[in-house]
């Protein structure tokens, strides 16, 4: 599925996978994030941390008639305040998608799939 944008120059189709990659890249830059987790835990394994090329497996882009919703599955670093990390991810993803792709995101839902101890 893709999102269609009409401009004065023509039509632009943006696939949901591209939006997921941009959202995953924005999220991974936030403090307290160890990595992205798979949204299909039983099939893909519970403890897998996704690499950059697989960010779309940890992000689900849903669209209704005139709104976009993003579900993100993340793994946070031990010792960080989970609510603060989730809020930072929501803010950064909304900002990045609006400035990179030009879309307005209505909601960014964060699902914390695990906590991992990182080496200092």
Residue 44 has pLDDT above 80, yes or no: no
- Give 79-115 pLDDT, tens digit per residue: 999 999 999 999 999 999 999 988 889 999 999 988 8
C-alpha angle 31/37/38, rounded to 5°?
155
76 three-class SS:
strand
Mean pLDDT of the chain: 83
Q: Which residues pair with 77 in a beta bridge?
A: 116
Q: What domains are defined for the chain?
A: 2-116 (3.30.70.1350)
pLDDT number for residue 41: 58
Residue 26 has pLDDT above 60, yes or no: yes
Six token digits for residue 119: 């080496």
pLDDT number for residue 42: 46
């Amino acid at each position: 599925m893709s999102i269609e944008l009409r401009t004065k120059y023509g039509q632009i189709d943006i696939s949901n996978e591209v939006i997921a990659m941009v959202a995953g890249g924005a999220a991974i830059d936030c403090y307290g994030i160890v990595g992205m987790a798979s949204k299909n835990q039983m099939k893909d394994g519970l403890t897998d941390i996704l690499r950059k090329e697989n960010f779309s497996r940890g992000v689900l882009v849903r669209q209704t008639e005139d709104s976009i919703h993003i579900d993100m599955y993340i793994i946070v670093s031990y010792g960080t305040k989970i609510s603060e990390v989730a809020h930072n991810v929501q803010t950064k993803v909304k900002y990045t998608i609006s400035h990179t792709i030009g879309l307005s995101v209505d909601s960014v839902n964060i699902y914390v799939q695990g906590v991992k101890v990182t080496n200092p």
